[in-house]
Structure 1
Amino acid sequence: MIAPSVSRRKAAGAIVTLLLVVAIAATPLFVANPFVYHVGILVGIEALLALSVHLMIRIGQLSLAQAGLMGVGAYVSALVTRDLQAPFLVGFSLAVVTPGLIAAVIGSVALRVRGAHFALLTFALGEAIVLLFVEFVFPFGGNNGLMNIPSAGIGRWTAAERPEFYLLVLVVLVVAIVYCRGLLSGRSGTILQGLLDNEALLQSWGINALSWRLLVFASAAAIAGAAGSLYAHYLGFISPEAFNVTVTVNALVMNVVGGLGFLAGPVLGALLLVPLPELFRSALLYQQLLYGLSLLLLMLFLPRGLAGLLRKGGS
């Protein structure tokens, strides 16, 4: 009797969370305000980056290279579409594949270590990527970055305006969430949970733990690359400072605020933290102080994050 009751409470909480996210995601479509669309697009892009960080957390690894890998996706997509005149879909596909390949190659060595050592290695990777963007004026533009990046579009459909681009971001985010949901559930989810709980037991069953870690790292990098491509084609300009380690830390904070143990956590964290600075814009002098205090209060009173609160409310 207890197990079905717990299952029903979890299902109810998941439905509450899903309905809330869907309602918020649909808001820009009904409000039809350019600024609301702008915030919605940034929320979607940041949610993708936070989702890539979330995947690594779910196997007990903290990757500080995610913003750098996002930068790889942004620069690849920008250069391919701007300089080679390739269609957006080609640039976007390469922006997803290239960071994934980099993560697979680097991860084959880096994932053999754990904890702080892995975090330091990925920090170095992220900083090295940004340094490459700065030092190589050709083709990356150095500190000045890249300008005149073309708008996104598929065939005759273009996403030059904010409503269309918002729909594009929404589709990419939904696809990423569905993929992560599949990866974190069923047999693969059990294996990934085993990596976190008892890797030695998992290996005694003949499961190659390193291969699964590589899959997760490459998947996380690919999602970060997708976020980078969307970021580049939305703003039309990118520069190295947009992909430093601070951006990764912000994505980590989104996971903590949203709920580390929940797939909806990164999305809920982005929904709250991306628009939050706008609330303090009138108090520009104290903006960072108010933002920091808000985060502190959220972590004190919502230790399981927003997703944990919604799951509790759903029960």
Structure 2
Amino acid sequence: MTVQTNIADLVGANPGVLANLVLAKYRVNNSLISSGVAVTGPEVELLMSGGAQVQRLNFVNKVDTTAFNHSSDDFDEKGATGKITAEPYQALRIDANWGWAYTDLVKIITKYDIKSGTLAGAIPMYWSEVGENMAVASMKGALAKATTLTSGVVTDAFNPDAFIDAAATMDDPRAQKTLFVSRKTYAKLQKLQRNDFIAPSAANLNIGRFEGYNLIITEAFGDNKSVVATEGALVFATGVTPGLIPMEIIRDGNAGNGGGGEILRTRMSLVAGHPQGFSYTGPLKPSLVQLATASNWTKVAQDQFIGIRAVNHAA
């Protein structure tokens, strides 16, 4: 009799334990999080507690630093005070899932985790790529909505100094920046080999560097556009909303023409890279194309306080 491997043999732990490992490794391996572009906090984490998929968050405005009090020894003299203001915006939580049959699992293990042969490395990488795709699509939609955040034209000669000029229009040009570039644009940066160039293969968490900028390679923006993002430009949250089972093995006796089969179903809820300063106003279950559509976003903050910029240049 042939001895066959089943999904339980690949998991190496029960699905509940594996789900916790997936969430932890997702956050460690996600390049948006590692670069500092995406940040989380108590407010956005509340979206993981359930409720409506679109919920209100607040974008805190810059505090006025031109006013202050001179201290006095007069007890009756009262110091003036200011206030912290915020602009509300609507953030979207996407409740997603995917399932793999046994044969598919073998393929993703080979792609992501060939050394250890376990799903604890493969599935987080899957969700990491899904989340990054959502974030990039959201940035595309926000940039399409606010055209003032884009500089240059596609006939401009490629010049990395344009990234510095774009960053100078943000509230704090000193903050850590990340560049989203295509493979072709990345090759141009490689050829320049200026002061500080580190290839992703030589960097921690596979994020390269160019003159103080983190580098993320993506084909989403094409060869004629690169994007500069400051730390905290995107908000994120991950988890599973209450009542959902994050991972389970499902046996289907009818699969294989009645021979039976198994599927590993994994679930993840994501606020995947929502651009701060924008409200999401589109459908509740958007495709990547819909996330990248300008009409599904509303700009609620001044350009100065939005942390993404696009630079057009020749391919």
Query: TM-score per shorter chain, which class?
Result: under 0.3
Q: Compare the two structures and name the one with the higher helix fraction.
A: 1
Q: Compare the two structures and name the one with the higher strand fraction.
A: 2
Higher gyration radius (CA): 2
Q: Please report the TM-score for the alignment, with normalisation by the length of structure 1.
A: 0.25
